[in-house]
Amino acid sequence: MKCCNKVNEAFFRSESNLNTMEDSTAQNKANGRKNLQQLRFSLLLNLFRFGFFVSILTLLGGCSPLKLVNGLTPNGAQEVERNLSYGVEVRQKLDVYRPAKPDEGSPVVVFFYGGSWRSGERGNYEFVGQSLSSRGFITVIPDYRLYPEVRFPAFVEDGARALAWIHENVSEAEHGLVLIGHSAGAHLAALLALDQKYLNAFRLSSSQVKGLIGLAGPYAFDPLSYRKTRPIFSGLNDADNARPVSYACNNSPPLLLLHGREDRLVLPGNSRKLHELHQECGMKSNFIELSDVGHFDIVLGLSDSFSNLAPVLEPIQHFIQESI
């Protein structure tokens, strides 16, 4: 599993550093022992943060840390409305997180999770709703249909249907919507924000989207060039129709693109490319590349309890407040 690989890489990097330090102690034992103790302490913290973490996750049935993160994230919502249907299909449901003191005039935040268009469920991302609600933002987390039940563009159309339902049924949506997505969810959110045909199909104006926040999204990749994604996008005649960068110069909302420099699953160049194209077209975009942050760290950073893994909550809060 890729997230387990991330943990192993972090461990072996630390272990390699430890071996290097042990070699230096032979030359200078006095200073070396002190440095070695500090490094071992750091290694123990890494083992606790990653190894122990992963051991618990294994008991939970997989490498995903999300259920544990939910349990460790403080409640920020006064009320959570669950299992609301935005369509007739089983996976066309969403949850609404309402803060005790909503930030007056703020748009409604809609979060789309990732999972390679094959997996994911909104209940695993309760920590996102709780953390954003603690900052005064009404937050909606929808499910959407996945491969192999559907293929592109059905999951994007589900996203548009969810936004239309939110616009009609969440009164605060009169202030607009800010879309947030991680990984495949960032790809989905970007197409909703940049390719106007999806919202137009549900009689929703693209002007309702006040901003797009993308975390580690594959905005520039060609889905037909990869064996694992080719069947998901098999109905495409032209791969550009599924690439958010193809729509970068549309009349688009402001962008905040966050990407981990250590991301090896979705390379940071995806965010950089979309950012540069957006700016070249004279539109507002901010790209933040985060040091020592990988593909999964960045979404864990949306939890108040794990924000040290990726400092994303502060720029996200600032971006949403600026959209008012």
Which whole number is the average pLDDT over 239-263? 96
Q: Domains of the chain: which residue ranges?
A: 2-59, 66-322
Q: Over 135-156, what HEC string results? A: CCCCEEEECCCCCCCCCCCHHH
Write down the pLDDT at residue 65.
Answer: 65
Going by their DSSP bridges, the two strands 255-260 and 177-182 should be labelled as unpaired
CA pair distance 276, 271, nearest whole angstrom? 9
CA pair distance 191, 285, nearest whole angstrom? 16
Please give the residue that has the higher pLDDT: either 48 or 294.
Answer: 294
Going by their DSSP bridges, the two strands 285-290 and 139-142 should be labelled as unpaired
CATH no. of 66-322: 3.40.50.1820
**Which range (208-212, 248-252, 260-264) has the least confidence?**
248-252
CA pair distance 222, 219, nearest whole angstrom? 9
CA pair distance 216, 294, nearest whole angstrom? 9
CA pair distance 272, 275, nearest whole angstrom? 5
Instruction: Please provide residue 302's backbone torsions phi and psi, each rounded to the nearest 5 degrees.
Output: -80, -5
Three-class SS of residue 117? coil
CA pair distance 129, 198, nearest whole angstrom? 25
The residue type found at 132 is L
Write down the pLDDT at residue 304.
Answer: 96
Place of tokens 């049924």: 169
| pTM of the shown model | 0.83
Nearest CA to 154 among 216, 198, 194, 120? 198
Helix (H) or strand (E) holding 1: none
CB 148 within 8 Å of CB 229: no
Q: 58-113: per-residue pLDDT in tens?
A: 444 444 568 888 999 999 999 999 999 999 999 999 999 999 999 999 999 999 99
